[in-house]
Amino acid sequence: MTTAYIVDYLRSPFTPAYRGALASVRPDDLAANVIAALVRRSGLDPVLLEDINLGCAFPEGEQGLNIARCAALTAGLPHSVGAATVNRWCGSSLQAVQMAAGAIAMGAGEAFLAGGVECMSRVPMMGFNPLPNPAWDEAQRTALLNMGLTAENLASRYGISRAEQDAYALDSQRKALAARAAGKLAAEITPYHEVAEDGCPRATDPGKLAGLKTVFKAGGSVTAGNASPLTDGASATLVCSADFVQRHGLQPLARVAGYAISGCAPEIMGIGPVEATRKALARAGITAAQLDVIEMNEAFAAQVLACCKDLDLDPAHLNRDGGAIALGHPLGATGARLVGKAASLLRRDGGRYALATQCIGGGQGIAMVLEAA
């Protein structure tokens, strides 16, 4: 089996859907901009690329027509480079990274771009015409279509208070703002024309968060302040084999050490990272206590807090530059951001092992373990 390495990572600015600076940008243009920038930064001849794996949670409208191929052509890549769109909802681009690593492991290519895109301004949550199976009962439809209620379910099951969720959200915002002010996000962002910074992080305080109305359930605890915002964004990683890295003098960030997917009940989809993480850690031959970097998607504060309780994760290693509550969650792009960020933090801050994990609507979890190169 051939070892796969995360060599580099770039993303677009992440901006609020509908009202943000990228709301008028087509998703294929946004993804193409990131792909082209990553190829330029690598210094590689793009003809060496085997495939472009691009995650997208709702591949329709402007995100349709195999958006991976559309973005690759728009980026000016050679016609010889393949492209495939990957859909595992929120886990789409983490799955795209695994597809690249898996192809490398079986000798089916040496260099891949794996990432994702979601322009939630252009294609709405659940797509333009969601049609769940008419045989499903109301509970099944709700669990599939209303992610906020699944977060409320976890808050209730795990006894997570509104105050705990708001405190977590405030910490995420503060970390993201501090990281941006310190220039710690600049290296991972490639501008789209004049848009060069994330638009989602916002200064807030406990009083403002406490004053927000609940969104999904009367008397509930999930608000716009302790959940990730609708977001526009794209991301990409360069994934290469060990031999390719050596031949081309590349300096990889991390090797892919373990991966897993898991399922759970749709109504508690946010707990998905727990079993996926346990399986990925076991496959990497390590324990959670050995993790130096943890990037867990913050779909909702309640979801992250529930997962951390079950996994007994050290919060000091969790989302140290902020998470999706602050940075945003462009569904199909988030997984590659998590992997790329985790790998980058191993290089930037030191450490041996990192985890990238997220929950997935419909009741799944996905996780990847990385080891510093």
Catalytic residues: 90, 329, 359
Q: How many helices (H) and strands (E) does the chain have?
A: 12, 10
88, 133, 93: which is closest to 262 by C-alpha?
88
Question: For residue 93, which phi and psi values (nearest 5 degrees)?
Answer: -80, -25
Q: Which residues contact 39 (CB under 8 A, 6 or more apart)?
A: 46, 49, 75, 77, 113
For tokens 């003098």, name the residue: 249
d(CA 210, CA 197): 27
Spatial distance between the Cα atoms of 239 and 324, rounded to a whole number of angstroms: 23
Amino acid at position 75, single letter: A
Question: Which amino acid is it at 275?
Answer: E
Segment holding 55, helix H or strand E = strand 51-55
Burial level of 211, CB count in 10 A (0-12/13-18/19+)?
exposed
At 17, which amino acid appears?
A
How many Cβ atoms are within 10 Å of 215's Cβ, its own excluded? 16
Single-letter code of the amino acid located at 368 = M
For residue 49, what are the CA distances in angstroms to 8, 64, 138, 244?
14, 23, 46, 11
For the chain, how many residues are written? 373
Show the 3-state SS of 125-138.
CCCCCCCCCCCCCH
Q: At CA 94, angle to CA 92 and CA 100, rounded to 5?
A: 105
Query: In the structure encoding, which two tokens stand for residue 121, read together?
Result: 């301004």
What's at 128, amino acid-wise?
F
